[in-house]
Every structure is written in C-alpha cells, then in structure tokens.
C-alpha cells in the first residue's frame, strides 16, 4: 500500500507543495538575511563616523585643557601678560569725539530749519 501511495498523483502533488513551501521559507530567510546584512553595513559606517567625531572631540578637548589655550584666554579675556611683555592699548578717541560733536550739532538745529534746508536749501543736515 505504501508503494502504491508513493507512485500515486497525490504523493507527487504533496511533494511539490512541500517543495514550494520550503522554497518560500528559504526565500523569506534569504531576504531577511539580506536586510540584516544591509543594516549591519549601515551600523558599521555609523560606527566609523562616530569614531571620527570622537577623535575630533578628543582633539578639541585636549586643546581646551592645554596650557596654550589657558594662556590665550588669560591674554584675551583678562588682559594678562607674561613676564617681560608689555601691553599697548590703541584707542580711536578722535573718531568717537567727531561722532559725538556731529550728533550735538544735529541736535542744535531746529526742526523748522531742517525742513527749510530740505526744501529750499542745502540737502545735507550734518556739517
């Protein structure tokens, strides 16, 4: 009876159905493996980028903790100097005085005179 069943059409159909189911399962697993491989590749690239960023941040940290950075900050923000150095301050007082003088002159001219000069006379208000 078993020999007759193995030679029958039903047995062949049964084997074909099992083969199709196995192929579908293998295809799903292959696709899943492909997706996981892609994700692993993306994560490895991300790891490399993070390592580069980490190296850059370590370099920046080393600079901020270095003696040179502290000296530069002390010179710039606290106006400190090393022994034997001298500080020279250069100011532009003349330009500031001229600006304040021109503002005062502008304020002294009345509004009526400014309008008169605008319509009938000089086009400039500052002298």
pLDDT digits (tens, 9 = 90+) for 74-117: 888 887 788 887 777 776 666 656 666 665 555 677 778 878 88
**Is the Cβ–Cβ distance between 83 and 75 less than 8 Å?**
no
Q: Which domain holds residue 46?
A: 2-87
Q: How far apart are CA 106 and CA 121, in angstroms?
A: 16
66 and 100, same domain (yes or no): no
**Is the Cβ–Cβ distance between 91 and 80 less than 8 Å?**
no
pLDDT, tens digit, for every residue of 29-55? 999 999 999 999 999 999 999 999 999
How confident is the model at residue 117, as a pLDDT?
A: 81
Mean pLDDT along residues 12-38: 96
**Is the Cβ–Cβ distance between 73 and 79 less than 8 Å?**
no
53 and 94, same domain (yes or no): no
Q: How far apart are CA 84 and CA 96, in angstroms?
A: 32
Mean pLDDT along residues 51-61: 96
7 and 68, same domain (yes or no): yes
39 and 81, same domain (yes or no): yes
Asked whether residue 10 carries a pLDDT value surpassing 60, the answer given is yes
């Amino acid at each position: 009876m078993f020999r007759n069943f193995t030679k029958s059409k039903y047995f062949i159909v049964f084997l074909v159905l099992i083969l199709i189911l196995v192929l579908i399962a293998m295809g799903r697993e292959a696709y899943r493996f492909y997706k996981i491989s892609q994700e692993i590749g993306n994560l490895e690239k991300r790891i490399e980028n993070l390592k580069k960023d980490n190296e850059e941040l370590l370099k920046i940290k080393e600079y901020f903790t270095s003696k040179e950075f502290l000296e530069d900050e002390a010179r710039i923000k606290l106006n400190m100097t090393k022994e034997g150095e001298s500080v020279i301050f250069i100011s532009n007082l003349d330009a500031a005085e001229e600006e304040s003088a021109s503002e005062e002159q502008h304020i002294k001219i009345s509004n009526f005179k400014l309008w008169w000069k605008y319509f009938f006379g000089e086009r400039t208000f500052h002298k």
